[in-house]
Structure formats: C-alpha cells, structure tokens
Amino acid sequence: MPLIDLIRREMTTKPMTMLVIAALAGVSNALVMAIINTSSSLADEKVDLRTVALFGIVVAIYILSQRRMMQITAIEVEEIIHRLRRGLIETVARSDLLPLEQIGRSNILAGLIRDTQTISQAANILVIAAQSVILIALAMIYILITDRTAFWLSTGFIAIAVFLVVRRLIDLRNKYPMAMGKENLVFQSMRDVLDGFKEVKLSAARRDALLEDMVVVSELARDAKADLQVKSGNEFVFGQTMIFLLLGVVVFLVPSIGDTKPEAVVQTATAILFIVGPLGMVIQAVPVLAMANAAADNLSRMDQTLREIAAASATATTTAVTPLTQFDEIRFDGITFAYAPVGGVAFGVGPFDLTVRQGETIFITGGNGSGKSTLVRLLVGLYYPDRGMLRLNGQVVDRHFYDSYRSLFSVIYADYHLFRRLYGITPPSAEEFQALVTLMEMGGKVALDKDVFDTIDLSSGQRKRLALMVSMIEDRPILVLDEWAADQDPQFRRKFYRELLPLLKARGKTVIAITHDDRYFDVADRRIAMEEGRVVAIVEREAATGGEDVE
C-alpha cells in the first residue's frame, strides 16, 4: 500500500515506540471502560478507594499516552510531508526542461499542494482509527472473559460486518484516483481564471465560455466526489446497523442460549456499546485511508517520474559545480534537435555549425517560430542536441559537464521570471548598485536592501531593466537576451543598442541577443539569420542603415 510504504520509508520514530504508546493509550482507554463497567455493576456496594485511585491512574496514563501519540503523529507526518516537498522540489530543480514541460506545472503543483495536504489531514483520523482497532480488540478480550457465548457471537458478527464493509469499500477504491483526476481538471481551470484574469476581465464572452467549461469539470468532480461520499456514508450506516443487530443478538439471543448470567449480558452489552464509537471511526477511516493512499500513490509516481527525469539528465548537480568564469570559444558541430511531434509533425532545428567567441556581440534574427529561442536553449545547455557535438574551448561538452557549462550564461528569456531576491548572487556594494540604477535610468524606482529588492511591482519595461541589472550583477561571461528591447521605449532602446551593448562588449562580455530591431543590426559583430529551424545567413559586421535611430 503506497501510504504504508511511504510512512515506513520516511518515519523516523521507531515503529516499536509508536506501537507501545498506541497500546498504552488503547489499553488505558479500555481499562477505563472495564473499571466503570465493573464498578457500576457493584453499585450497591461501598466505593472502593483503591478502584478510584486505579481509575485516576488509568485516566492519567490515557491522557499522557494519547497526547504523546497525537504529538508524535503530527510531528512525524508534517516532517514526512516537509521532506517529500523538499525532495520533489529538489528533483524538479535537477530535472531537464523538456520533460518537465511535458509533465505540466498544474500536475506538479497538485502533487505538492493537494496530495501532501490530503495525507496531512488523514493522519490524525488514521491514528485514532488504529487506536480504535486496539480498543475493539481489548473490548473483545473483555467480552471473552465475561461470557464465551457472547464473545463468539460478537466475533462472528463483527467479522461478517467488517468483511462486508471492506468488500464494498474496495469496490470504491478505484473511484478515488478518478475523482482526484477530475479535481485536477478543476485545478487547471482555476489556474486559467487566475493566470488569465486580465484577459478574462476584458471579455465577457471569454469569461462565460471559461466559466462554462469550469462548471462542467467542477460538476464532474462534484458528482464523482458526492458519489463517493454517499457510498462511504452508506457503508457507515451499514456498519452501525450491524452493531445494533449485534447488540440485539447479545441482549435477546444470548440469554436464551447457554447459561449466561443476567449481569454478564449487561456487561457484554455495555462493552459493545463502548465499541460503537471506535467501530464507527474505523469504518469512517476507510475512505480517508483510500484517499490518502491515492494521494501517496500519486506522489510516489510523480516522485518516481521526476527522479527518472533527473537521473536521465545525468548532470553533475549532485556534486558542487565550479562556475566557469571565462571561455575562449563555443562550437556547434552539426547540432540538431527536434521537439516531440505535435499533431504528427515534429519541429526540428539544425544542423547548426556555429562558433561563438569570447567578447563577441551576436544577434540572432528570424521570423516568429523560426527556431531562435530553440537555438538559444541549445546554446545555453537547457536542451541537449539529438545529434552533433557541443564543444567548449575545443573540448566536447558531455552531459556530466553541462552544469558547469551552464554557469557561463546569464539569460533573460522572453518569458523570464524576476526573483525578488538575488538568490545565489553576491550583492553589489551600495555604490555599484547606485551606478547601475543610474545607468538603467531606474532612479527612485527600486532599492536593494542587502539582497532583496524593495519592489518588483514595476512596468514591464522597468522589470526588464531590473532583470538586466541582475544579470550585470551576476557578472557571468556570456549574456543571452531574448528580445530584451522589445518593450523598451525608443530612447532607451537606442541607449540599449548604442550604449549598453558596446559597454558590455568593452567589459569583455559576450552578448547573444535575439532581436527584430533591424535598424541596429550594425551593432552586432555577427548576425545569424534563421528560417524554419535553419541558419540561412551569417552576416559579419553589417553596415549601418544610416540616418538617425528615430522610431
């Protein structure tokens, strides 16, 4: 069972310790019942102080052991979930981009948020159910000592009830993952509404269509889950009915067979009444267990997939990566790459035969979908070539060297993510940061407190400037920019091409920029023109178009 495997694999408290504490709580709970039961049947006699003292001790043991049990469970479960989350995030961080894109963000988030929460919420119910089992077992022993006939009848009855309930619940087992799958779809729709909120807000037609779609998936999830709850509820009622029948048997049938004394009937009936609650808990816990099990299964399968992806990436992330601070030359020899086919058609790029030398400013140009970003992803080591050789300073870059290789690049993707913190980057001095703010014309817009920006709520052009500032602080040998200037105003765009790129070049940086700004093509040492995944021209030092760079 995935949940049990998960708990056994991850639990740090010894199972024996758990068992002893659970048994203590269960036994003390049962003893409370036994003392009350025995004393109440002797109600006409004088109160025995020793019994009262024993009662007090047993209650104290119950309080201590039950609290300890709950405490251990809460801490253990949250620790397991913490480690699971951490493991998943670490594996995600070690994985390669392409397979991660295929799993999809929604699925990874569902695992990280919903499934871990399901397990966390189930933990207490499961502990109480486990204790209930102990309690039921002890009550049965009590009944056995009190009256054999009643014991065998009760055992038979409970066995049949448990068998029937479990068999009916097993039928429901496969429905849990299905219901969760339906909920995943709701989760994706929710993300659509939240991520696309601005688009949704502006179009009533889009909003209505999206909501309609969401209502359909939500209704499917509702029906699947309600169906489960109703069936689980029926099982609960069925289980309780079995108990009532059992009580009936003990009270009406037991005295007429065998030689059971009337007080034994009372004691047995009281003991059975006492286990009504625990039996209900066990029955209720079965669907919870099934849900937590499905969640654990989902998590372990995702963990397994992610681990396989991470292992296949075979990069050196497990060992410390020594960042490369310089290079002479990167070479692409006959490199090709193709995406997995979409609709039967696979987009491929290459073969590329290219060289990037230290200090060069290179532009990559071409129409939409011509493969520029794909080339950049190959260049910075996010995608691995299907064929061909990647060489750094003449040495072949094999997969084990990719992490070091990637450390050459600072990249601002078209869909870049701006972090509020300078994660993994040594913060600049106040003077250095101020100089950057002035250079990027960001005065009064952003401040750096140690390694945290006071805000990243900026205009899209300003956010791009801030991203460039971060790259300059990061100070890696190669800066890759994907249409960086696209959302800059004409003046700053001009500054970018005419001042910033030459400045970076003067500082010895290699810049590779995807651009459509043809009036500035002369800034590049080389321009690589692409069409349909292939390089169609390499233009060395283009002539300036002449005239002012006015847009």
Ligand X SMILES: Nc1ncnc2c1ncn2[C@@H]1O[C@H](COP(=O)(O)OP(=O)(O)OP(=O)(O)O)[C@@H](O)[C@H]1O
Q: Which is nearer to ligand X, 48 or 101 (CB)?
A: 101
Asked if 298 touches ligand X (CB under 6 A), the answer is: no
Asked if 366 touches ligand X (CB under 6 A), the answer is: yes
**Least distance CB 76 / ligand X (angstroms):** 40
**Least distance CB 533 / ligand X (angstroms):** 7
CA angle 272/71/91 to nearest 5° reads 120
Please state the φ and ψ torsions of residue 334, each to the nearest 5 degrees: 60, 35
Asked if 347 touches ligand X (CB under 6 A), the answer is: yes
DSSP-based three-state secondary structure for 443: coil
By rule CB under 6 A, what count of residues binds ligand X?
Answer: 13
Q: Which part of the chain contacts ligand X (CB under 6 A), choosing from 187-195, 215-223, 242-250, 361-369?
A: 361-369
| Listed residue (374, 427, 385) closest to 535, CA to CA | 374
| Listed residue (358, 365, 386, 375) closest to 478, CA to CA | 358
Q: Which part of the chain contacts ligand X (CB under 6 A), choosing from 47-55, 141-149, 192-200, 339-347?
A: 339-347
| Listed residue (115, 98, 118, 93) closest to 106, CA to CA | 115
Which of 66, 131, 315, 370 contacts ligand X by CB under 6 A? Answer: 370
Residue 110's Cβ-side half-sphere holds a number of Cα atoms within 13 Å equal to 24
The interface with ligand X within residues 70-109 (CB under 6 A) comprises: 101
Q: Which is nearer to ligand X, 374 or 462 (CB)?
A: 374
Q: Which part of the chain contacts ligand X (CB under 6 A), choosing from 58-66, 125-133, 148-156, 369-377?
A: 369-377
**Least distance CB 373 / ligand X (angstroms):** 3
Exposure string of 168-200, with b = 16+ CB inside 10 Å and e = fewer, is bbeebeebbbebbebbbbbbbbeebeeeeeeeb
- Give the chain's radius of gyration (CA, Å): 34
Q: Which part of the chain contacts ligand X (CB under 6 A), choosing from 198-206, 240-248, 363-371, 539-547?
A: 363-371
Asked if 385 touches ligand X (CB under 6 A), the answer is: no
Structure tokens at 228: 């489960």
Which of 331, 372, 526, 527 contacts ligand X by CB under 6 A? Answer: 372
**Least distance CB 369 / ligand X (angstroms):** 3
Handedness of CA 534, 537, 542, 543 (dihedral sign): negative
> What residues have CB less than 8 Å from 100, skipping those under 6 apart?
92, 108, 309
Q: Which is nearer to ligand X, 22 or 535 (CB)?
A: 535
Q: Which is nearer to ligand X, 327 or 339 (CB)?
A: 339
Asked if 515 touches ligand X (CB under 6 A), the answer is: no
Q: Which part of the chain contacts ligand X (CB under 6 A), choosing from 118-126, 213-221, 371-379, 498-506?
A: 371-379
HEC string of 2-41? HHHHHHHHHCCCCHHHHHHHHHHHHHHHHHHHHHHHHHHH
DSSP 218-282: HHHHHHHHHHHHHHHHHHHHHHHHHHHHHHHIIIIIGGGSTT--HHHHHHHHHHHHHHHHHHHHH
The interface with ligand X within residues 394-433 (CB under 6 A) comprises: 414
Q: Which part of the chain contacts ligand X (CB under 6 A), choosing from 34-42, 372-380, 397-405, 487-495?
A: 372-380
Instruction: For residue 285, give the amino acid letter.
Output: A
Q: Which is nearer to ligand X, 233 or 369 (CB)?
A: 369
**Least distance CB 364 / ligand X (angstroms):** 8
Q: Which is nearer to ligand X, 274 or 337 (CB)?
A: 337
Asked if 368 touches ligand X (CB under 6 A), the answer is: yes
Instruction: For residue 500, give the amino acid letter.
Output: L
> CA–CA separation, 27 vs 18, rounded Å?
14
Asked if 371 touches ligand X (CB under 6 A), the answer is: yes
> Is cis: bond before 385, omega within 30 of 0?
no
**Least distance CB 531 / ligand X (angstroms):** 10
Q: Which is nearer to ligand X, 287 or 366 (CB)?
A: 366
Asked if 37 touches ligand X (CB under 6 A), the answer is: no
Q: For binding to ligand X (CB under 6 A), which residues are involved?
A: 101, 339, 342, 347, 366, 368-374, 414
